[in-house]
Chain A
């Protein structure tokens, strides 16, 4: 299984600012994903981070709000732009070596609070 780290582990940000979350995997992986988990809720997929091309966003999520980079097979970033209190959530990175419908392993998450 892949070992995944995320930075920062938590942050408190002001409304209108942006935060970039980093995700690092200890081995090359085919697939990397970004999820959001709001308090008491399940995981909602934001986007699939594609290496060398634009991310694939799920319904309700747009690139201007959540720009994603994936420069290589072990690293990805998610930026939460122009934040509002509604963006307060846990953001999780996951990775897998198979297809998108195969096993995924999760990073420890980033707990974001927007004031």
Chain B
């Protein structure tokens, strides 16, 4: 069974610090990886996608991918209280002709002022 694992948290960091969120996945053939942010009572919002090994930066967010270790992470620099949310890692898996995303259970981040 294909799985995506995340620490449920909560992860608490002070304002201005770097928050580091981690995710591992079981399907070695996966080629697409995503981070979504979900505020309480809201639907998931795409933050980053990454497809190649290495780092990908977008503003305060950096996604890191290591396919050999089956590991993907999200770094949030200069964390703000508005970053407090649950962060979902999603991995694209191939299934027949369609494929789909498998989501981790999410890591709850709390940024303290």
Contacts and interface: CB of A to CB of B under 8 A. Distances in A.
B46 A105 contact: yes
B70 interface: no
Where chain A touches its partner, the secondary structure class is: loop
Interface residues of A, number: 21
Contact of A102 (B43, B92, B96, B105): B92
Contacts, number: 56
B64 to A, nearest CB: 18
B60 interface: no
Interface of B: 30-32, 34, 36, 42-46, 49, 88, 92-96, 98-106
7 contacts: A33-B100, A42-B106, A43-B44, A45-B100, A99-B92, A100-B98, A104-B101
